[in-house]
Amino acid sequence: MGKGLKSSHEKFKKEAKNTLYKGIDTKKKKVEPRLSCLEELSTHLSLPPDILAGAPIITATGRNEICLENYKGIIEYNSSLVKVQTKACKICIEGKELNILYFTEDEMKIIGFIKAIHYL
């Protein structure tokens, strides 16, 4: 801009703010986390949310035994790796001499020396 010319942008900005947003709170409000339908239902029925949602439940007894509930299928299985598909994610159990002791439609027991449990 040349000398002597002054921008009136700030003036228009203030005027627009006073007229356009008059009576409206433009400050950001805190958004409260909402419960999912299943979480709300479980609260009303006094049930644990993992039962309704079908979340995987892993119960480790020491480093030698894992009970895994709510799984959909076995993806990979050998003596050092057991990979399982659940509704929410894949679960990978690493170790030595791993063996699936038993499995049913929704529960399995894995024994052996367990090194790690990964959620993929």
In-domain check, residue 105: yes
Is 80 exceeded by the pLDDT of residue 12?
no
In-domain check, residue 66: yes
Q: Is the pTM of this model over 0.85?
A: no
In-domain check, residue 103: yes
Task: Read off the CATH number of the domain in which 105 is found.
Answer: 2.60.40.2000
- Cα separation, 69 vs 115, whole angstroms: 19
In-domain check, residue 40: no
Least Cα distance to 68 among 101, 19, 35 occurs for 101
> pLDDT by residue (tens digit) across 43-86?
667 666 666 566 788 889 989 999 998 888 899 999 999 999 88
Domain of residue 59 covers 54-119
- Cα separation, 28 vs 91, whole angstroms: 39
Q: Average pLDDT, stretch 11-21?
A: 64
Q: Average pLDDT, stretch 20-28?
A: 59
In-domain check, residue 69: yes
In-domain check, residue 73: yes
Number of domains in the chain: 1
In-domain check, residue 46: no
pLDDT value at residue 30: 62
Is 70 exceeded by the pLDDT of residue 106?
yes
Alpha helices in 2-120 (DSSP H): 9-20, 37-45, 49-53
Write out the chain in H/E/C secondary structure: CCCCCCCCHHHHHHHHHHHHCCCCCCCCCCCCCCCCHHHHHHHHHCCCHHHHHCCCEEEEECCCEEEEECEEEEEEEECCEEEEEECCCEEEEEEEEEEEEEECCCEEEEEEEEEEEEEC
